[in-house]
A and B are shown apart, each in its own frame.
Chain A
Amino acid sequence: QVQLVESGGGVVQPGRSLRLSCAASGFRFGDYGIHWVRQAPGKGLEWVAMIWYDGSNEYYGDAVKGRCTISRDNSRNTVNMEVNSLRDEDTAVYYCVRDGGGRLGAFDIWGQGTKVIVSS
């Protein structure tokens, strides 16, 4: 079945780095862009980053720009996102989300999320 599974969350100290992964299955991974969306405790959804289906373009939200790198390996059906210089406000559940492109294809499949807690 179509599935996205995030991993890499945990407790990390402020100022440190964290690498999140998103593993895809059940569809032609190389045809889809992937987004990361996060949700801080009790708060709304925040778009974080996106990588094109072929890895040729990346986009970042203002909150992580300059601290974040998204990459993908289409041979392994995975997307990784590294966030550096972590801050308290990066504490959130991070979701990876599929994007089939165009007006109709965006954000149709979500992973279950991985929780990141930034704390000393």
Chain B
Amino acid sequence: DIQMTQSPSAMSASVGDRVTITCRASQGVFNYLVWFRQKPGKVPERLISAASSLQSGVPSRFSGSGSQTEFTLTISNLQPEDSATYYCLQHNSYPLTFGGGTKVEIK
């Protein structure tokens, strides 16, 4: 099974900051990598697919990069509504696996 190691597990940042979340895959997944945001009590929503393709309607301050084993989600100009938990998912091979999540708190 492919392990997805996401870091950090939690972080606190200020409005306007640039935030970077990393997902490392235990083996290459090409760019079959999706990023989700889950606000407290809500359903997860897809932010980015194919490692770097922004979902329609998602603010352009979100961006994704990487391939194979290392991926990053960057939030530039952090906003209060970005307080949430972020997850990566590899869907290159079964069983699919999520990262453990990164909880982003606004200072």
Contact with B along A72-106 (1 / 0, CB 8 A): 00000000000000000000000100010001111
Identify whether the interface residues of B are mostly helix, strand, loop, or mixed: loop
Given that A44-B101, A47-B95, A47-B98 are contacting pairs, would A103 and B87 also be in contact in the complex, using a CB cutoff of 8 Å?
A: no
Contacts of B38 in A (CB 8 A): 45
The answer to whether A60 and B95 have CB atoms under 8 Å apart is yes
Q: State A107–B51 Cα separation when bound (angstroms).
A: 13
The answer to whether A103 and B50 have CB atoms under 8 Å apart is yes
Which residue numbers of A lie inside 8 Å of B, CB to CB? 35, 37, 44-47, 50, 59-62, 95, 99, 103-108, 110-113
Which residue numbers of B lie inside 8 Å of A, CB to CB? 1, 30-32, 34, 36, 38, 43-46, 49-51, 53, 55, 85, 87, 89, 91, 94-101
The answer to whether B45 and A110 have CB atoms under 8 Å apart is yes
Given that A108-B46, A108-B55 are contacting pairs, would A45 and B36 also be in contact in the complex, using a CB cutoff of 8 Å?
A: yes
The answer to whether B95 and A45 have CB atoms under 8 Å apart is no
Pick the most buried of B49, B95, B97, B98: most chain A CB atoms within 10 A of its CB: B95
Q: State A20–B74 Cα separation when bound (angstroms).
A: 36
Q: State A95–B38 Cα separation when bound (angstroms).
A: 13
Once A and B bind, how many residue pairs between them come within 8 Å at the CB atom? 64
Identify whether the interface residues of A are mostly helix, strand, loop, or mixed: strand
The answer to whether B44 and A47 have CB atoms under 8 Å apart is no
Given that A103-B49, A103-B50 are contacting pairs, would A44 and B87 also be in contact in the complex, using a CB cutoff of 8 Å?
A: yes
Q: State A44–B36 Cα separation when bound (angstroms).
A: 12
Contacts of B46 in A (CB 8 A): 107-108
Q: List 30 A-B contacts (CB under 8 A).
A: A35-B96, A44-B85, A44-B87, A44-B99, A44-B100, A44-B101, A45-B89, A45-B98, A46-B98, A47-B97, A47-B98, A50-B94, A50-B96, A59-B95, A62-B1, A95-B43, A95-B44, A99-B91, A103-B31, A103-B49, A106-B32, A106-B34, A107-B34, A107-B36, A107-B49, A107-B89, A108-B46, A111-B43, A112-B43, A113-B43
